Structure 1
């Protein structure tokens, strides 16, 4: 049943550019509805309230602690990292996190001797700001202060299952809510920071890769993405083994496979990062899914803008290819193969 692609309404089968664009419009609209983004949008009619709590000056950047009320009653903490030096227009990088106990604090490099940084290069926001980019490290819904009272008392990593169950009662999904939060952060950055709207990138690992991929698929203001250790097939990853409840979208396999979702990003630059020995997003399925994605980019006239990097380790972040990709992208309109 998981592999019955004939049932998928938006399985990619376009043969020319007009058909591709029509397919993207249809799938994007339906995906917005399926994720619950249309439902969220219908209750959000004002500019989100924001508040800065503190600012810390470090050796090469300023780290500000902010809050944004992305929808009524939902407050999302985030770090804003800004390089030191004269003000100038810079690329924007947003780094959503995955299932981590220290979440945005790890990504911002705010935890001394953090084993997640040492073992998995997960200080992704700090890496980005050191490359010279304005960077936002948000906290995902269902983590930290957004956990249930029970989960906070038990010191559970997240309350993803509870959030997902509650959201589903309103025709929403936790992935959709996290995508919405990213969209509001883009609004905030464009309105308040000296960011280049032609250079907006998302990158994160695991659950952060999920948010990066879906946000880029939905919001065309995202000009590039580098999801790490997520892209695969639904059938061989979350459909084949137990994953956190936040991964599941009711009805998604009636619509499309993951390569189709990623195909909504075409022809914008996309770097898929994977681990050779990742046990929960199997590499054979990553490769087969990427082959289908490459077909979409080829039809879009941009085969060179879709790349796959396979690290030699497991389920972790691989920073070198990401920042090589970003540096060349932000300084040139032509991409070379990051594997060379």
Structure 2
């Protein structure tokens, strides 16, 4: 056999075999620092955060705003803000993170051209569902999708096409990652929330699916202002998902397996509240490895004596948002 299969298999086994099972504050701090380094350094002489209101639409039960936020020099991010009516301010707030597709319009019931959409996508318009639960919902558009594709990709192919490969590959040349850039921008969004009277900065949650689940997980690892996290359609093992099939390049973080396997990384969210949602028929993040991850997460949450803050729902479905239990769980944690 001249292929590299056996070598890669041995490399994985040798790498994960040396990882610790001693979960304490020192372990957590050490791994968080390693995770931040692996994602890449995005510190800069940050410009003052400027905000421009782009639209305001009365949606009946809530008001939908679209704003533009400066996240770092040369980068501006469009964000949908959904604010429920007839609620006392400040409001518990959920950062809603979309996955692969045509961007944050998928979360708020819009087509790529901004017109109202009748049939939902795998995102199930979950930002709308959450605002109807009484949350203020903040839905940023991740770099590389929708209106934030590279100029050469604008207006070409399908609306769901993205610029992930070119962004991720170029960032790697600078020792940075696309995952890290997206996480950095989401942290900047939380900075913005703390300056606005509508949002209760002591009750911030984060929910995302698929590639948005990745961003949700790593943002929650690094930013402890997030009190409760829902990861949908992502929690697994690297061996069972990212390594096992071809995924978008935005999933690949140099040296990450030398830091920890995916369950241990997600476990860095402890002792804060965590909900894992996964479809039993999800072909991208298979059930068997979801269960392996949950077993590991349970062990870690026990080590921090917070088993009651870990919950999960394995639902009958595929790679999609459910919300059947996760929405009400967020209500319990944040309201």
TM-score, with structure 1 as normaliser: 0.90
Deviations 1:187-221 (A, max 9, x none): 11111133222311111211111111111011111
Quote the residue 1:95 is aligned against.
96
Equivalent residue of 2:271, what SS? coil
Quote the residue 1:60 is aligned against.
61
1:9/1:256 contact within 8 Å kept: no
Give unmatched runs, 5+ long, in structure 1: 332-340
TM-score, with structure 2 as normaliser: 0.91
| Aligned counterparts of 2:167 and 2:68: Cα–Cα separation in 1 | 20
Deviations 1:303-326 (A, max 9, x none): 121122101011000011111211
| Aligned counterparts of 2:209 and 2:90: Cα–Cα separation in 1 | 27
| Aligned counterparts of 1:56 and 1:135: Cα–Cα separation in 2 | 15
Matches for 1:242-281 after TM superposition, within 5 Å: 242-281=246-285
Quote the residue 2:21 is aligned against.
13
| 1:162 corresponds to 2:166 | yes
Pairs aligned (count)? 321
1:207/1:230 contact within 8 Å kept: yes
| Aligned counterparts of 1:230 and 1:193: Cα–Cα separation in 2 | 33
Select which of 193, 202, 226 maps to 1:222: 226
Quote the residue 2:333 is aligned against.
329
Select which of 301, 304, 308 maps to 2:308: 304
**Distance change (3 Å), C-alpha of 1:12 and 1:198:** farther
Quote the residue 2:176 is aligned against.
172
2:64/2:81 contact within 8 Å kept: yes
Equivalent residue of 1:126, what SS? helix
1:238/1:247 contact within 8 Å kept: yes
Q: Which moved more, 1:192-201 or 1:24-33?
A: 192-201
Report the aligned-residue RMSD.
1.8
Q: CA deviation at 1:86?
A: 5.1
Q: CA deviation at 1:290?
A: 1.1
**Distance change (3 Å), C-alpha of 1:165 and 1:138:** same
**Distance change (3 Å), C-alpha of 1:10 and 1:172:** farther
Q: Which moved more, 1:49-58 or 1:297-306?
A: 49-58
| 1:292 corresponds to 2:315 | no
**Distance change (3 Å), C-alpha of 1:263 and 1:242:** same
| 1:45 corresponds to 2:46 | yes
Quote the residue 1:318 is aligned against.
322
Deviations 1:205-245 (A, max 9, x none): 11111111111011111111101000000111011101111
Equivalent residue of 1:191, what SS? coil
Q: CA deviation at 1:47?
A: 3.0
1:106/1:114 contact within 8 Å kept: no
Quote the residue 2:5 is aligned against.
none
Deviations 1:263-300 (A, max 9, x none): 11001110000010000101000101110111110000
**Distance change (3 Å), C-alpha of 1:231 and 1:86:** closer
